Structure 1
Amino acid sequence: MQPVVHLVVGYICYAAYARWRFDGPPADAPVLAALVGAALPDLLDKPLAAAGVVGVGRTVGHSLLFVVPLVVVVWFSARARDREVLGVAFAIGIGSHIATDIPWHVLAGDYHELGFLLWPITPMPEYSGVKGLGTLPALEVTITTLWLEAVIFVAGVALWWHDGRTGLEAIRRRLGR
């Protein structure tokens, strides 16, 4: 999944949780925590791969052997500050990232590419790229994962806009604008 779509999915997941738990749209701080969680695996792994430290862009930050202990530490840290909602939001964000990297491999039958889940215990082969989901023979068009990601992106941005662009004002204040 494209990194920006991970952010959108993290937002959608946390917004759904906020509506269920708090009966309303999400607040700024938890949304930002969810977005940090949703971005973190790629923020760790893509630079490591680009620098040649690891062979592929899904290793440390995508491994459950790193993610699960990190979520526990973040949650306990947030709880100690009486801000459990931030720990939950971070867990939802990073969990959504890992969870949404799985279906494309399963749908394509590329199960061996799920090695990132327990890296370095399991190998992570080179990612084979965009997956085909099907074809529309009448139009001679192949539907790929990018099409579905585009739909998710548009829906997520629409939800964020509907929610009042949660988090944007907090970022502007932080940046002094």
Structure 2
Amino acid sequence: MQPVVHLVVGYCCYAAYTRFDRGEPPSIAPAGVAIVGAAVPDLLDKPLSSASVVPVGRTIGHSLLFAVPLVLLLWLLARRFDRSHLGVAFAIGYGSHLATDVPWHVISGDYHELGFLLWPVTPMPAYTGVKPLGTIPGVGLEATTLWLEAVIVVVGIVVWWLDGRPGLGMLWQAIDR
């Protein structure tokens, strides 16, 4: 999944949680924390892969062996400072990233690429990238996972817009300075 799509999914998952839990759209700080949580796996792994520290771009940050202790530690810290809602937001964002990296491999049958979930216990082969989903009948055009990701981004923008565009006012204030 493309990195920006993870951010959108992280926001949407947290927005769904706040709607279910409190019946209201997310506030700015926890929504931002959820987005940061959704970015962390790629922020850790992509630079390490580019620097040839790890073999591929889905290793440490994408491994449950790292993610679970990190999320638990941050949730405990947030709870200690009476900010458990931020710990929950981070967990939702981070978890959404890992969860949304799984379906493309399952749909395409590339189960061996799920090794990232338990890396380094399980090997992680090179990521094969965009997955084909099939051919559109009568047109001969191949649909790929990028198409679904584009739909996810559009839906995410609509959700964010309907939620009152949290964070936009703060962004405009920062630009005006």
TM-score range normalised by the length of the shorter chain: over 0.9
Equivalent residue number for residue 66 of structure 1: 66
Aligned-partner Cα distance in 2 for 1:172–1:74: 30
Q: Which runs of 5+ in 2 are unaligned?
A: none
Aligned-partner Cα distance in 1 for 2:73–2:173: 28
Aligned residues: 177
Query: How many Å apart are 1:11 and its aligned residue?
Result: 0.5
Query: How many Å apart are 1:97 and its aligned residue?
Result: 0.1
SS of aligned partner of 1:62: coil
1:64-103 deviation line (CA, Å, top 9, x unaligned)? 0000000100100010111111000000000000000000
Q: Which segment drifts farther, 159-168 or 102-111?
A: 159-168
- Match of 1:143, as an amino acid? A
Equivalent residue number for residue 36 of structure 1: 36
SS of aligned partner of 1:60: coil
**TM-score w.r.t. length of structure 1:** 0.96
Equivalent residue number for residue 169 of structure 1: 169
- Match of 2:37, as an amino acid? G
Equivalent residue number for residue 19 of structure 1: 19
- Match of 2:54, as an amino acid? V
Aligned-partner Cα distance in 1 for 2:94–2:176: 28
**Structure 1 residues 1-177: aligned runs within 5 Å:** 1-171=1-171, 177=177
SS of aligned partner of 2:61: helix
Aligned-partner Cα distance in 2 for 1:162–1:171: 18
Q: Give identity over the alignment, percent.
A: 66
1:136-172 deviation line (CA, Å, top 9, x unaligned)? 1301111100000000000101111121211233455
Query: How many Å apart are 1:48 and its aligned residue?
Result: 0.5
